[in-house]
Each structure stands twice: as structure tokens, then as C-alpha cells.
Amino acid sequence: MFDRRLWQESRTQRATLGLAVGLGFLAGAFTVAQAWLLSQVVAEVFLEGQSLDAVMPQMLALLAVIVLRVAVTGGGEVAAKFLAVRVKQGLRERLFGHLLALGPAYRHEERSGELVNTVVEGVEALEAYFSQYLPGLAMAAIIPLTILLVVFPLDLLSGIVLLVTAPLIPLFMVLIGRWAEALTKRQWGLLSRLSAHYLDVLQGLKTLKMLGRSRQQAGTIRQFSQRYAEVTMKVLRVAFLSALALEMLATVSTAIVAVEIGLRLLYGQLAFAQTLFILVLAPEFYLPLRTLGARFHAGMEGVAAAERIFTILDSKLQVRSGGRRVAPPAFREQIAFEDVHYAYDEGQRPSLHGVSFTIEAGEKVALVGPSGAGKSTVAALLLRFLEAQRGQITVDGVAIDGYAPELWREMVAWVPQAPYLFCDTVAANLQLGAPEANLERVIWAAKQAQVHEEVMALPRDYQTVIGERGARLSGGQAQRIALGRAFLKDAPLMILDEPAASLDPANEARLVGATARLLKGRSALIIAHRLGTASQADKIVVLGDGRVVEQGSHARLMAQGGHYQRLVTVYRGAG
């Protein structure tokens, strides 16, 4: 099984690949030399009656050839291992980098556990392909060809027998490979789904325990594991049967060569040394083919994993990575959405239909509307997690897609409703907003976000590891850590997904005060879930079915008696 894209990946390490193949060719040459020297020594001692001293030079040469053959074979294996390590490293870096470039939009379409399994186990599954199967493929071509070039001038019939029987082994490998390919892909797919489901269970363990469904999920994982085990056993069964068939072919082919040269030796048609030389070479001729057959399963596993890897690498970026490599200026006039359209799933799920509004410099704009109106899509477009499919977003008249996404994001601070905290120290989580910030600056940001006192109450204050997703912190503390990041970043534009929406009154009051300090003198887009927050904004943009249905101040929109007034009425009634 030869995969063209994996071959292209191996060519990125041409020197190492060339070294592995070159050492393999030398191993083939030393194999021939070893067989020739051995046949000469045996013939001279047993037929010509030569003494040990007389054949000592040939014995020493044979010893040297054996040592060299072992050395180049070992060197070839080391080179192949190094090739596998370097290719895996490059692929893993590209894969992870592409996932980062694809951004959150792609992540929402995939299962985290499956992606992690692909980046880790999927790339690791290529180890055997590059270190065993691919070198074995080269050896299966080089060594038999080298032996044929030597045997044909010595004995045409033996050369023809070798040439005719050799293709039987690759033929059987291809036939078995077609049978096993579907099983191997199914095995890999089950492993990916098992990994994804297991991660889902771990992340939702609290919910499962509270609802009394943890035992049921344990049963589901047991079923997944059993199905994976069954498919694995089927794959191994095919691998063992293929190894048996290939061993039998190689053994029978060697026996055919032995019989035909043995009979001709008896009838005096071949010299003893010539016969022994060919007989010793015959097993060496089939050995690379047998080895390749034994490694064929590793090759199939690598190809199955590579299929998923290249599917991710071929995924189109949601955001163009080009643009001017200069930092966009801090806007002095306005950011404008101009007839912006966007649809998910290649146009199957429309989200925005000609959205137009502006954020003036220093203005606080609240985005309101029912669930599914397109508020999150607007924020994602402004953060450049997505790219407008029609229309454009401009800053002081210049389209933001003219700047590299990572440079544009330097101008924006984002405080989501559910901030992600990493399993690291409090200081490290705050410093994500400004990696170069020293501890004094970090403490200042924490004080501004009104979380400093609570951090100091932790066992190691700012050096306390807060656990995965900030498990050691409350929801209010996590939100204020996110605000601290925004204080550190000190960006001119703030995007807030109303962080206080799910907090109790005490935490909400502290967060509102900290947010007011953060927004002072800055422009902001606030996704407002509580219409009380929207009423304090300079301008309110009301979305409905992906369109701007109203915009203006709170007083003006209430006076119009339109969509916003009805939303407020419903909100107050629900309260």
C-alpha cells in the first residue's frame, strides 16, 4: 500500500530518506558479497581440501562483510527512525498550526476528543509507516533487484525462477490489503469515536453524577471498547493470515529454487560453488518481501490515520491568513459593518442578511435580539474568527480583512460569557492578556478587576494552580480573571458577551463596577442578554432573523414602540 501524500511528506527529509535507502542498497551489496565469500570458503575447504590457513583471508573478509552488513543495516534502521521522528514532528506542527488557523468555528463542528486523538495518536500511528513500512518498501525493490543482477549472468534459469515467483508475494499483499483496508479504517474510526466520547464523559462527569447517568455512560464506553476490540481482533486475524500466506509463498519459492539447482548440480550442469552461492542468496532474495508483508499491517494503519490527518489539513480556512503585515491603526472615527452577509455550512444555514451599523470611536454599542438572531456571528466576524461572505467590515474606511488576523486581534479585547481558564497559575492565566507583563502589572490588573483580595486568599496567591477550566475558582472569580486579561491587554476595542449574565447579585455588582472601569474611554460592542445592560449603552442595535431591524438610543427605541420595546416588555414580564 503506497500513499502518495505520505511519500511527499517523507521527501521533506530528502537527506535522511536518501541515507536510509543508500544504506539499504549497501546492505544488499554486502548480502551478495557475504553469500559469495561463504560459498567460496565452503567449496575450497570441503571440495578442494584447503587448510584453515589457506582460506583465512577469505574468512577474515567474510567476517568483515558480516560486520559491515550488520552496521549498515543498523544504520539504515536508525536513519529510518530519525526520518519517522522528523516527519511526525513536522506533520504534528502543521496539523496543530492549521487547527489554530481554522479557529473556533472549525472546532465547533468537530469533537474535541477526536481532534486530540488525531493530533496525538493519529500522528503517532505514522511511526511504523515511516520507520518500517516505507524503508521495507524500498528494500523490497532494491535487494531483490541487486540479487537478480548478480544471479542472471551466473544462471539464467535460477534468475527466471526468482523473477517469476517474486511478484506473487506483492500480489497477495495487494489482495489481502483490499480485504483489510476497510477493517483498518473502521478500527481507526472507532478509536476516534471512543476517544471523543470518553472526553465528553470526563468533561460532563458532574452532570452525569447529578442526574444518576454515570453508570449508563460506563456501559456505553464498555460497548464502544468491545466493538473496538472485536474490530481489532478481525484486523489482527487478517494480519496473521497474511503473514502465514506470505511465509508459505516465500518458503515454497525458495524450495523451488533449491530443487531446480540441486537437480542440475547432481547432473553436473552447475558447479558446487555456484550452486551454493545461489542457494544462500535465495532466502535473502525473498527476505525483504517477507519483511514487507509482515509490516503491511503497520502500513495500512498509517494510511488510515493519514486519511483523517490530511482531511483536517485540507480544510479551508474560515479567515484569510494574508493581509498587510502592519498593525492596524487605533481607529479614530468608526468601525462599520457594511451590508454584511454570512451563512454556515457552505450556505446551508444563513445567519446574517445585509447587516449594517457603526461603532463610533469611544461609543458603547449594545447588540440585542432573540436567540439565533446572529449576535454571536457578528462578534465572531469582528474578532475575525469568521470572514464576511458578502459586504465588508471597515475601520476608518479600510477593510479589516486587509490586515493579518493576528495583528487585527491585537486591537481587540474579548471577554466571553464563559471564559476559558487553563490549568496553570493565576498569574499565567492573567498574563495571556499581555505575556510580557511583570507581576506588579498583573497585580494592578487583578485589582482593577476586583479579584486581587480573593487571589491573595488562595494557598500560593498568584502562583496557585487553578485547575482545568479554573476548577478552584467560582464563576464570578473566573469572570473577573477574564476582565483582568482585558485590563492587561489595554486594547482600544472591547467585545463583551455580557459576562455578568449568569452571576448572583453580589458578584454581578462587583463585575459591573470593574467592567465600567474597563470600558472607560474605549469603544465597545456588548452582546446584551439583560436588557438592563442595553439601556446603559450609547446605542442599541436590534437584530432579528439576521437583520438589523432597529437601532438607536434606549429612549428613542422605546418611544418607537417597535421590536426593542416589545423585547423590553417581555423581559420585564419575565423578571
The residue out of 313, 337, 357 marking a domain boundary is 313
CATH of the domain at 247: 1.20.1560.10
Average pLDDT taken over every residue of the chain:
83
Encode pLDDT of 263-318 as tens digits: 888 888 888 888 888 888 888 888 888 787 777 777 777 888 888 888 888 888 77
Residue 349: per-residue pLDDT: 80
Quickly tell me which residue has 481532534 as its cell.
115
**Domain for residue 546, yes or no?**
yes
Tell me, what DSSP letter sits at residue 394?
E
> Given pLDDT bands bounded at 50, 70 and 90, which one contains residue 540?
very high
Residue 471 φ/ψ, nearest 5 degrees: -60, -25
pLDDT at 236: 76
- State pLDDT tens for residues 103-122: 777 776 677 777 888 888 88
Residue 572 lies in a domain: yes
Same domain, 257 and 369: no
Residues 193 and 223 in one domain: yes
Strand-pair partners of 334 = 360
> Is residue 339 very low, low, confident or very high in pLDDT (cuts 50, 70, 90)?
very high
Select from 40, 38, 45, 194 the least CA-distant residue to 117. 194
Q: Model confidence at 507, in pLDDT bands (50, 70, 90)? A: low
pLDDT digits 0-9 by tens, 508-524: 677 777 777 888 888 89
- Does residue 305 share a domain with residue 225? yes
* Cβ atoms of 385 and 106 closer than 8 Å: no
pLDDT level of residue 322 (50, 70, 90 thresholds) = low
Q: Which residue has the higher pLDDT, 293 or 66?
A: 66
476 lies in a domain? no
Which residue is it, cell 463596577? 513
In this structure, are 182 and 128 located in the same domain?
yes
Do 129 and 50 fall into the same domain?
A: yes
What was the pLDDT predicted at 64? Answer: 94
Establish if 449 belongs to a structural domain.
no
Most confident of 215-219, 292-296, 451-455: 451-455
DSSP structure string for 486-526: HHHH--SEEEE--TTTTS-HHHHHHHHHHHHHHHTTSEEEE
pLDDT for the residue 329: 64
Least trusted range by pLDDT, from 483-497, 510-524, 544-558: 510-524
Neighbours of 414 (CB within 10 A): 21
Mean pLDDT of 478-503: 81
CATH of the domain at 561: 3.40.50.300
Please return the burial class of 471, using the count of CB atoms within 10 Å of its CB with bins 0-12, 13-18 and 19+: exposed
Please state, for a pLDDT cut of 70, what percent of the chain lies above it.
Answer: 91
474 is a domain residue: no
Q: Which residues contact 242 (CB under 8 A, 6 or more apart)?
A: 172, 173, 176, 180, 293, 296, 297
Examine the domain organization and report whether 68 and 101 are in the same domain: yes
Higher local confidence (pLDDT), 320 or 470: 470
Task: Using pLDDT thresholds of 50, 70 and 90, give the confidence band for residue 211.
Answer: low
pLDDT of residue 128: 84
pLDDT at 228 over 90: no
Contact in structure between 279 and 162 (CB atoms under 8 Å): no
Answer yes or no: do 62 and 144 share one domain.
Answer: yes
Examine residue 56 and state whether it is found in any structural domain, yes or no: yes
d(CA 410, CA 325): 13
pLDDT in tens, 136-146: 888 888 888 88
**Cα gap 568→575, rounded to integer Å:** 10
| pLDDT category of residue 501 using cuts at 50, 70 and 90 | low
pTM of the complete model: 0.73
Q: Which of 258, 279, 313 is the C-terminal boundary of a domain?
A: 313
9 and 63 inside one domain? yes
> Is the pLDDT at 327 greater than 70, yes or no?
no
Q: What is the DSSP letter of 502?
A: T
User: Is the residue at 136 inside a domain?
Assistant: yes
Is the domain of 245 the same as that of 390?
Answer: no
Whether residue 209 sits in one domain with residue 61? yes
Q: How many domains does the chain contain in total? A: 2
Average pLDDT for residues 49-77, to the nearest whole number?
A: 89
Q: What is the pLDDT of residue 61?
A: 92
Residue 575, pLDDT > 60, answer no
Average pLDDT score over residue span 225-229? 82
Same domain for 389 and 267: no
Q: Is residue 221 part of a domain?
A: yes
Do 348 and 293 belong together in one domain?
A: no
Nine-digit cell string for 82:
530519525
Question: Of 313, 346, 380, which marks where a domain is finished?
Answer: 313
Q: For residue 192, give the amino acid letter.
A: S
Return the higher-pLDDT residue of 479 and 175.
Answer: 479
* pLDDT tens-place string over residues 341-390: 998 876 678 889 999 999 998 899 999 988 888 888 999 899 888 888 89
Residue-level pLDDT at 504: 59
Q: Give the residue numbers spanning the domain of 571.
A: 323-411+495-500+523-575
